[in-house]
Structure 1
Amino acid sequence: MNLNAENKANSFLFRLRSKDTPTGVSAVTLDKLMQETGLSKTELTHLALRNLANEYLPYYEPDDGPLTDAQIQRINEVSKAADIPEESFTEKLF
């Protein structure tokens, strides 16, 4: 696949709204954003999608679930706080 065909395969059509809505923007708003930020339409679209990805997608791989009793015991054994009495802690992590 040549570079031009690959770019088209990874592209999509973006239609602006005729007026601003809770889920869309108009050409007027996009032009104002371009003037304010100095970014192009493509850069603004990427920025908006990046912000949504940061808000909705996890930054990490899902873990294996809760720690086992053996894992908790091992953490307690190697912890520098092991000598602090239990009643000194007001909150527990797990």
Structure 2
Amino acid sequence: MSNSDSRKRTLALAVRVTPEEADAIMEKARDAGATVSEFLRACALGRKTRNTVDSQVINELRRLGGLQKHLFLEGGGANSYEHAAILIEIKKAVARIAT
């Protein structure tokens, strides 16, 4: 955000929420890598928010897939059915999150 954007933001809005709603909003803002203000502005104005947790999970699944492939190659193809089944499940998990 440029300094000119922050200087233009001179109004503060108060919103009443329950403690549970406040917790949920703060958690979603944290997951999006944004402040609560940035997150609420984006939601209210129809802008996309990106979930950094999803990106982290996808990266971890990809890392695990790479390790699984390495183990398969190091094992000379031993237990190839089990290795293939695990890789398929990892790919399915990445696809579910990415959509």
* Greater helix proportion: 2
Give the TM-score normalised by the residue count of structure 1. Answer: 0.34
Give the TM-score normalised by the residue count of structure 2. Answer: 0.32
